Structure 1
Amino acid sequence: MTDSKIRIKDIAERAGVSVGTVDRVLHKRPNVSPNAKEKVEKALEEMNYQPNMYASALAYNKTYTFHVIIPQHEQIAYWEEIEEGVKNAQEARRDFHITAEIHHYERFNVNSFKKTTESCLQAKPDGVVIVPADLESTRVFTDQLHAQNIPFVMLDSYMPDLKPLSFFGQDSFASGYFAARMLMLIAAKEKQIVLMKFTKNGYVASKQQDNREVGFRHYMHDHFPDTKIIEFEVPLDGSRSLYNKQMEDLFQAHPDIHHCITLGSKAHIMGDFLLRTNRRDVQIMGYDMVGKNADCLRRGSISFLIAQHAFLQGYSCIDTLFQAIVLKKEVNPINYMPIELLSKENVDFYRRTQL
């Protein structure tokens, strides 16, 4: 007998209990004696019963609200693709009455993060997707989520001590290590390279980029210890004229530089400068299939890009909450995204929305 033909009545007859008792066991409701529960579970095992979780969830007709808490951004492709993935996942599960609300906080602003997370807690969502701030601020929030039995998925930066339901993002250390290795395939004979870092108030844009730098420097230390790494810090919210002045000064001070790298998505800022100033002997490597990055890659000022599959990350976070909360399924606790290398030869074949 296949589980599609197994009726509650059949289970009740085999277990020697009422239909109501079987229903309470299947839906994990109270007021079932240990003896009756044991009989029902034995019958289910003998009959190889596998419940149709989709049908059960649809029949339950409950609404679910998931909150997605991410940094504010101004048309940064990585975050835009995250949001697009979230909205796509919501649409894919519309029959289950899923709503995904996106809330933003100002990165590096503890009060903004606190205000956003407090508002989230007051709304009592069924699940949360969170891009962490600093560890302690995030811990205050996640401790309250645990206390209220609200599952949460971490995106972009992994903090295992906070015990999320799941995590989606690249293995940042491995990604930085890989980036260094790819860069040095073409820069192996260089005596110095530039590490361009976008900062705000003295901090890089994310913990993820910090971890990438650890991986990057680990590779360089092990394999190219004599290659000098010149740190080049530029403000995250700088103007084009400021960037131009800083880069002019950089190359005037270091005329023998031929290769640069940034561990974020703004390689195009230098790439565009190199094209406008006709510096054909310099290239930069970076992250993300941003439109401007792709253009510089095709025109030769960017050597490589590492793709992050941001759309897939956003989609998967919502789908994981759906699987765990609505369908009551176990989910993978750690989900590392692929580390893919894009060059001008394959960039046009990369599908950023591929599932």
Structure 2
Amino acid sequence: MAERIRIKDIAERAGVSVGTVDRVLHDRPNVSKPAREKVEQALKEMNYQPNMYASALAYNKAYTFCLLIPKHESEAYWEEIEEGARKCEDQRRDFHIDLEIRFYERSNEDSFKAVSQEIVDAKPEGVIIVPSSLEVTRGFTDQLHQKGIPFILLDSYMPDLRPLSFYGQDSFCSGYFAAKMLMMLAGNEKEVMLMRQTKDGHVVSKQQDNREVGFRHYMHDHFPQIVINVLDLPLNGTRNEYQKMMAQYFDEHPATHHCITMTSKAHLVGDYLLKSNRRDVQIMGYDMVGKNAKCLREGSISFLIAQHAYMQGYYCVDTLFRAIVLKKKVNPVNYMPIELLMKENIDFYRRTQI
């Protein structure tokens, strides 16, 4: 074990008082330039490494972090994000970390603006953001930069906004991978169905949009002969509306046996396939949430790609902690693993793995 270096030892080495060493270590005023240089030289010669955890605990300062995410249903991907974030908050409770979770309506830019302004006015020490559109999010992050508040982007990477860090999957690679896995089952088919959730005909998530780009890139390069039929389900539609739209689709496309969605809503199609007894059709999707897991076990979902949402939530809070409280450097880009789940391995998936 390395010998513990005391402030008294540094003072003796530098030929200054203990109080002078303490002021230098904590970057306080009232230290002459010659004295500061002596202390810094002694620190270098003694290879002094400060105990940042002890210093942070001794400082006894309270920190507020804000997590801005879309409103969501129970059991959704976002709920796992919350659980992971709360777990990290609990583990760092000795450092007086307080996590406030704020919600906005995903497809409503005015809602994002209003809630983000509330966060700016609250003056937190750090922020975690699930972005809206680039320009709307920029209005928020520009204010954070002006006030010196570091922020992390979650789910969608927008490097132009200059975040402290990012956590999420590489969306393009994820979509490319999804297409490759789907074609292991559907390589001899004439057509597949791509189910999207849209508002006014547009996908509301940049992440899902990028996944689709990756998916189509693979299909264009390797299976250009397969037709991709798109079924757009309205974001705020009812289950009855969805059932009617899916029934019409499959009546008009009896050759469709394999489907895919870039969302966590594969269970919408999976439930319909089970209830309508269409046992020759499967869908592939994202996120190991309860409703998807049920359909995977019952055979209407072929594969799920796990995003480790719990891990993302945990590490976003932990990264703010390390950067702000411990004043450590953090990785600017953190891509999550792309993990494929199927009926045979779903019970071994560790949802709360850190």
TM range (shorter): over 0.9
- Is 1:117 aligned to 2:80, yes or no? no
Q: Cα deviations across residues 183-232 of structure 1 (Å, max 9, x unaligned)?
A: 00111011111100011233224111011011111111111111111111
Report the 3-state secondary structure (helix = DSSP H, G, I; strand = E; otherwise coil) of the residue aligned with 2:98. strand
Report the 3-state secondary structure (helix = DSSP H, G, I; strand = E; otherwise coil) of the residue aligned with 1:133. coil
Q: Distance in 2 between matches of 1:20 and 1:139?
A: 45
Which residue pairs with 1:297 in the alignment?
296
Comparing 238-247 and 170-179, the one that deviates more: 238-247
Which residue pairs with 1:11 in the alignment?
10
Q: Distance in 2 between matches of 1:154 and 1:30?
A: 36
Q: Cα deviations across residues 117-175 of structure 1 (Å, max 9, x unaligned)?
A: 11111111000001111111111111111111111111000111111111110011110
1:252 CA drift (Å): 1.1
Gap regions ≥5 residues in structure 1: none
Which residue pairs with 2:218 in the alignment?
219
1:37 CA drift (Å): 2.8
Q: Cα deviations across residues 27-72 of structure 1 (Å, max 9, x unaligned)?
A: 2233434433332222112111111111111111110000111111
Which residue pairs with 2:36 in the alignment?
37
- Is 1:157 aligned to 2:160, yes or no? no
Which residue pairs with 1:170 in the alignment?
169
Q: Distance in 1 between matches of 2:202 and 2:19?
A: 60
Report the 3-state secondary structure (helix = DSSP H, G, I; strand = E; otherwise coil) of the residue aligned with 1:234. strand
- Please list, as runs of the form range in 1=range in 2, the aligned pairs for 1:79-158 lying within 5 A after superposition: 79-158=78-157
Q: Distance in 2 between matches of 1:110 and 1:57?
A: 38
1:243 CA drift (Å): 1.0
Report the 3-state secondary structure (helix = DSSP H, G, I; strand = E; otherwise coil) of the residue aligned with 1:341. strand
Q: Distance in 1 between matches of 2:98 and 2:152?
A: 16
Gap regions ≥5 residues in structure 2: none
- Please list, as runs of the form range in 1=range in 2, the aligned pairs for 1:244-259 lying within 5 A after superposition: 244-259=243-258
- Is 1:63 aligned to 2:62, yes or no? yes
1:320 CA drift (Å): 0.5
Report the 3-state secondary structure (helix = DSSP H, G, I; strand = E; otherwise coil) of the residue aligned with 2:66. strand
Q: Distance in 2 between matches of 1:232 and 1:342?
A: 24
1:21 CA drift (Å): 2.5
Q: Distance in 2 between matches of 1:111 and 1:159?
A: 20
Q: Distance in 1 between matches of 2:121 and 2:339?
A: 40
Q: Distance in 2 between matches of 1:309 and 1:205?
A: 21
C-alpha contact 2:64 2:125 (8 A) present in aligned 1:
yes
Q: Distance in 1 between matches of 2:32 and 2:210?
A: 52
Aligned alpha-carbon RMSD (Å): 1.3
- Please list, as runs of the form range in 1=range in 2, the aligned pairs for 1:232-243 lying within 5 A after superposition: 232-243=231-242
Report the 3-state secondary structure (helix = DSSP H, G, I; strand = E; otherwise coil) of the residue aligned with 1:21. helix
Moved over 4 A (4+): none
Comparing 28-37 and 80-89, the one that deviates more: 28-37
Report the 3-state secondary structure (helix = DSSP H, G, I; strand = E; otherwise coil) of the residue aligned with 2:277. coil
- Is 1:275 aligned to 2:274, yes or no? yes
Q: Distance in 1 between matches of 2:153 and 2:31?
A: 37
Report the 3-state secondary structure (helix = DSSP H, G, I; strand = E; otherwise coil) of the residue aligned with 1:331. coil
What is the letter of the counterpart of residue 188 of structure 1?
G
What is the letter of the counterpart of residue 351 of structure 1?
R
Q: Distance in 1 between matches of 2:18 and 2:230?
A: 71
Which residue pairs with 1:2 in the alignment?
2
Residues 31/138 of structure 1: CA separation in 2 closer, same or farther (3 Å cut): farther
- Please list, as runs of the form range in 1=range in 2, the aligned pairs for 1:272-351 lying within 5 A after superposition: 272-351=271-350
1:26 CA drift (Å): 1.5
Q: Cα deviations across residues 65-95 of structure 1 (Å, max 9, x unaligned)?
A: 0011111112252000011111111100111
C-alpha contact 2:75 2:290 (8 A) present in aligned 1:
no
Report the 3-state secondary structure (helix = DSSP H, G, I; strand = E; otherwise coil) of the residue aligned with 2:232. strand
Which residue pairs with 2:45 in the alignment?
46
What is the letter of the counterpart of residue 25 of structure 1?
V
C-alpha contact 2:82 2:313 (8 A) present in aligned 1:
yes
1:18 CA drift (Å): 2.6
Report the 3-state secondary structure (helix = DSSP H, G, I; strand = E; otherwise coil) of the residue aligned with 1:304. strand
What is the letter of the counterpart of residue 71 of structure 1?
P
Which residue pairs with 1:78 in the alignment?
77
What is the letter of the counterpart of residue 102 of structure 1?
I
- Structure-2-length-normalised TM-score: 0.97
Aligned residue pairs total 354
Identity of aligned residues (%): 70
Which residue pairs with 2:196 in the alignment?
197
Q: Distance in 1 between matches of 2:305 and 2:326?
A: 34
